[in-house]
Every structure is written in C-alpha cells, then in structure tokens.
Chain A
Amino acid sequence: MNRKIILFTLVALSTVLLLSFNNSSSTNAYTLIYYRYMNALTGEERDLLDLVNSSDLGNEAHVDKISEAIRSCRNRMKAADFWLRYLEPVSYKKINGPLPVEWETEVFEKFEKPYKREGAGLTLAAQYLEEPGGNKDTLARLIREAIAVMPVYGADSITRNLKDHHHFFLCNRLFLLNLAALYTTGFECPDTAAIIPELSAMLGATDSIYKAFNESFPETPLTGDYLRLYRSMQVFVQQQPRAYSAFDHFTFIRDYVNPLYRISQEMIRRYRVASRSMVDYSLSKTAASIFDKAVYNGSSAKGLFLRVKDTAVLNEIDRVGKLLFYDPILSGNNLRSCASCHKPTEYFTDIQQPANLRFDRKGALARNTPSLINAPFNHLLMLDGAHITLQDQTLGVMTNPEEMGGDAQQLLEKVLSCADYKKAFTRLLAYTPQEPEITLGHITSAITMYYSKFSRYYAPFDEAIDGGKSLPDDAIAGFNLFMSKAQCGTCHFVPQFNGVKPPFVSSEFEVLGVPADTAYHQLSPDQGRYKVNPAKETLHAFRTGSIRNGGHTAPYMHNGVFRSMKEVIDFYDAGGGAGKGLKVDNQTLSADPLHLSPKEKEDLIAFIKALDEKIVFEQPPVRLPRSKNPALNRRKVGGEY
C-alpha cells in the first residue's frame, strides 16, 4: 500500500514538473523539439511502468509485451540521446546504465576517492527481463528510477544551455564520437538484433534536431557540407544489413563518422564554441580526426615540465630522460633500470616471460610488464589503477621493494652525484619556477617525457580509416567482427582500443576471470583493483589495456598467462573464466560463448596486427653519466637483470 502511495506521489510530482517544462519563455523550434523528445520519453517510460505493474512475469505473453514496450521506449530514449548523455551524464546512468554498479574515478575527480554509481533504466530492465524467475518489483524499480531523473532535464541549470549554440556543438561532438565507439557495438543494447534498427531511428531523430537547430540558430548553422554528408550516412545505414555482425563498421566510420567529425571540429572552432561542462575536459578542439592521437588528453607526459615549449629545452629533457631510462642508478642495487623490464627493443615490455624477476631475483613478480607505448592515453596507471599520474607511477616502480628497490632520498643523491645530470637539472630548474630545488619529480618527468614520444606513431589501420590508404580484406573483416559479434569494441573502445570511452574522462576496469594457468585449474589469485578500492565489484578487476601493437607485446593478460593471440581469443570466445567453468561471481564479461569460427579468429588477429604502429625506435645510449662516487661508475647501460 505504502509503495503505491509513493509511486502515486512520484508520478504526480513528475507530471507537475513535466508540465512546467512547457512554461519555458523561449519557444523556438529547437527548444520545442527538446521538450517534445523529453516528454515523449517520460511518457513512454510511464506507460512501460504501468504495463509492468499490471503484468505477470510468469506469463510468457506478458513478458513479450513488456519486451516490446522496452524496445519502443528505447527508441524514444535514443531520439533524445544527443542531449541526455551530454547534458547530465550522471542522471543518464539511471536512464540507460550499462551495469548495476559502477565504480568511477573520472579524470577531474582524480583526487577524490572512487565513488559508487548505481545504474538503472532500460538496458538493465531488458537484461533483467531475460533472467529466469525475475521479480516484478525489481523490474519496476529499474524503470521508476529512470522516470525519477527525468525532471533533471527540465531544470533551469540544464535548460539554460538551450539558449545558445555552444552546448549544441559539444553534444554533437560527443554524438559523433559515440557513433564511432558505442552506438554500433551493442554497448548498452543487450538485444543485438535491435542495434542497427535503433541506430537508424536515432539518426533520423537527430536529423530533426539538426533541422530545428538550423532554424533557431541561423547565425551558427550546421553547414550544408555537414548536412549533405550526414544524410548520405543515413542512406548508407538504411542500405546496410540489419544484423550488426554484417554491418560495415569500417566504411561507416571511414566515409561518414570521421569526416563528419572533421567538419564538426571546424564548426566548433569557427563558431568559437565554449564549454561549461566537465564532460569536455579531455577533448581537443584542434584534433581534426577521431584517429588523431591528440583527440584527447590522457595523462601528461611532461609532468613538471608542462610549461616548456622551447624545442632546444625539450631536446635537452629528452636527452636526460633517455639516459635515466637506461640508468640502473635508479634502483637500490644499481643493477636495474627502467629498460631492464620495459625493453625498448621489445616495444617497451618483456616478451620473453610472463612476468619479470623480482628485485631479489627470487621468483617472478605477480604481474606481466605492460608496454609503455600508449600508456599516456590512460587516466589511471597500473593494471589496478593505483596511480593517477605517469610520474607517480614511475616513482612507484623505482621505490617498490619488489621492483627496483630504491630509496627516494638516496635516488636523488645518486643522480645528482653525476655532473652531467646535476648540470642539466640545474639548468632545467629555471623552467619550473614553482620548484625551489631539484626533486624526484624532475627526474620522473624527464623519464615519462622520454618514453612517451614512442606513443605518437600510427598504424596501417589508422592510415586506412583516416587517410584512405588500403587495408587487406581480412583486417577489415576483423575490425567489423571486433565491433560486433566478437564484442571486443564494447570494452576496447575506438580510437585507442583501450578502456577509455568517449568523452574520454575515465579508465574502465573489467573482471574477465583470467586463470592462473592455461589448464584453468584456478582463477588468478591477483585481487587487481580491489587492492586500491575494495568492493564486491572490483575483486579481480583490471584496467582495460590497449590492443595496439598487440602483435609485439605477448604474453598477454595481467599475469602473462597466454602466450599467443589465438589463446586470448579462445579465452574470450569461451566466455572468459566463468565460461570455462571457473567460479567468478562478479565477471563483467558475458559468460556466453561467442561462437567464433576459425576464419573469424584469423580475421581478428589480422585486424590486431593492422594496429602495429610504425614506431621508430632508438639505439641505447653509448655510456652513462659519470658519478663522483667511483663505485657507481661500474654500472652498465640498461642494467644487468
């Protein structure tokens, strides 16, 4: 009874708030379509809730009817997705959350603890409906929570954005990025048969938003070029097969989404679009293409040297950074350098063994050494996200008793005992006026700047999807599978193919159920993210890595358990650890098999190999700087183990 009263109050309240939506003073075409879409979504959500309340989940016909209503409601949601996701991303998780619980650390909240966000809404409702023995109240709650956030989109703080063109172009930029990364992959769409029909409906609805915008804001219109290309994209999608596995994701992005992004970035600059939202925090206004490596800012490679722009000074930092990278002076016993494990000849990882030796040489470390290439495209570093800057991560390894075993104070003294380092850092001090003296921060910043320059190269795939160069058919087929049936693209997001999805403000973690051994006797005991943020959902969770250069960075997974890409793909094909029969209660990867054919697996590997970047590596330094302390001058370039 009580529940009914609460429900009634909620409904009544939202009706009042909704009606107040329409009292807006500015009623141009653009504002009208905004309210029309929002009201239509709220209305269908309410109808859906009524239907659930009056249904019996044990009755198959009722379940089918609910399923149909969810599908129809999703189309209303997709129509408004353009605004929903950008204007209030937190509320959006209640309308269309991908997971029941997400732990988030977003880039602008790096200095706060990760916080818990409970998802609700249509995706979770559809998934719940599929589960046997579902409870009606739970299903109703998922929809009620979506209804409850709708008034947020009528609040002044949100609707005042509609008065000018700024938010529109930023909404649109996110929309385009999601067209490339999310909308065609089934992320937030459990019914794979609905992905392309929903995409098609969404493109149509957004076209109406475009028309209304151009009518209401004639001073800053979407250009004719943009609209023509957009409409040919609609035609392309209509002519494509309805099955997302048969959809040509490659051509869709190469010929439509990315060129639209290019025009969109031009309009953003020409119309001097200014952001008021943290959502845009990482995104660059100057990068022309989604596949430009400057499309978003991940972690700063420059650290303390952020303000240095002078080429000669940058070259000097690079020179010192390289020497330090190879210098075992940074370890406790002067026998190990960064290059000992992150071997520059092996894509800055170690391809010989699952994990490197411990500092005391008694056995191996718990985790595989990750490649440093493309590390700056993450927001959280280490497989468990323990560090928030590249420089902290570097210092963390130097002073970790199991890795390089150094003592912070001694490290600094040892480095400065070398005249070359001392002279160089003393000169560089002028470029960090906030720092009264040379610190470990200067040393780690030089190191991160040095190795990060190897992240600026592109792969044949980039040159094909962005530059129009040709790519072998198997690699294109592999990309199309990657984005559909193989379900890779829902975690390894376009364009970096890592766990950073548009708008690129956070790093994602997944529980895959990686085994300790290839016979699947047991789950890897590594607790992963749990060590940093203990919660039921984070146990055995690891940050999603990039698959770029995957052809050169074996062995794979956090513990290096798989030696070949084929083994990795077989693991995913089987539904991860849970699919292989291990007990993984919180696995975020579906335990259902993917049913990939041998040919499909080969195509996936061909695509991953097309992501091998054309990196120009360097020779190691000939010698290391001499120290005042003769004992230190026995050290070898790159260290000894």
Chain B
Amino acid sequence: MNDLGAAAATALNLVLTADPAVAQIVLLSLRVSFSALLVAALVGLPLGALLAVARFPGRGSILTVLNALMGLPPVVAGLLIYVLLSRSGPLGPLGLLFTPGAMIIAQAVLITPILAALSRQVLEGLWEEYAEQLRSFGAGPVRAVPTLLWDGRFALLTVLLAGFGRASAEVGAVMIVGGNIEGFTRVMTTAIALETSAGNLPLALALGMVLMSIVLVVNALAQASRDFATRAGA
C-alpha cells in the first residue's frame, strides 16, 4: 500500500512538474507507437479489406496464419527484427539497430497482423451487405476495397485502437531492438521494467500510471468520435 501511495504522489509530481526526462520518455513512446500504428495501418487495413472481398485458393490458410500471428510473442518478433537488423544481418547496413526506427519496425510487425485480421472481420460483414449493389454499379472486389475502408471507418477506429494498445503496451520487442538506451530509445514500458528491477518501485508505478492514463485518453477520444458518428447516423 505504501508503494502505491508513494507511486501516486510521485506520478502526480512527475506530471505536474513536467519532469523533462519523463516527458522525453513519454513523447518517444507516443512517437514510436503512433508511427508503428501508421505504418501498420497502411499495410494492414488494405490487406484486411482485400481478404474480406477476395475469394481465392489458399485464402483459408492465409487467414489461419494471420490469426496465429495475432498472438506472435513480442520477444520473438523482437528477436527476428534484431537478427535482420544486426550488423551481419541482411538489413545491417541500414544501421537501424538500437534506434527508434528499429522500435517502430518491431511494433509495426507486431500489430500489422492484428489490424489485418480484425479489419478483415469487420469489413467482411459490410461487404456481404454491399457486394450485390456494388457489382450492379460495375465495381468488382478490388474497386470495393477503398469503398469498404471509407464506409467502415468508424468500426476500423476500434481496430486501430486495439493495434495502438498492443503497440504501446509491449516491452519485449522494443527492449531487444531498441536497447533501452537512456535519452534515446527508452520508452515507458522499458523504463518501467528497468526501474522495477532496480528497485525503484514508486517511479516504475508512476510511469505505469502515466502509460495507463494515455491509453485511457486515446480510448476516450476514439469512443467520443464513434458516439458522434452514431448520432450523425454515419
């Protein structure tokens, strides 16, 4: 209980004083996770939409693999990216290992299957409703992809949130490929892990509270926009 009380006080103090070290960690966390979300969305949402509309041999196997990848352990993803980006690896010359860029790649790899699999589910229902009408207009499945992405935009917001939640909460992958370098690649989750093992529980808990608050705010904003959309009848 003492720890929690002290943590709450520390958290409040950190936020109120806008501690520069903490602010830097928080900003880097947001930058990495939002960049990863952007990259993953550009790949995952069209991929999900395409899988929702297309029927081809092997589609079932792809869906199975995609669903399995949703559960890809972050440390495994981190390890794979590490091998690819390490000096002797195929992408070694890019010099990305232990940079925020590597962390963005790792998180994007983790959440792209989540965005693709969830958007596939959401858009398949919409496609069932639209298919005949769109075919009547002369639009085949491929032309339907942008239509479905736009008309499913509010449902897809929830999908993006799930992806952002997963990206901002994971620690294993960014720890391995980022290296948790203070002032450079240290994000909230890796800082929490470090402070906990260093015995600095109040600071670790305080960072945890900041992280949870951010996730809460992002969710609240998304919920508000969905409510707005529902009222507008979109």
Bound pair: A and B?
Answer: no
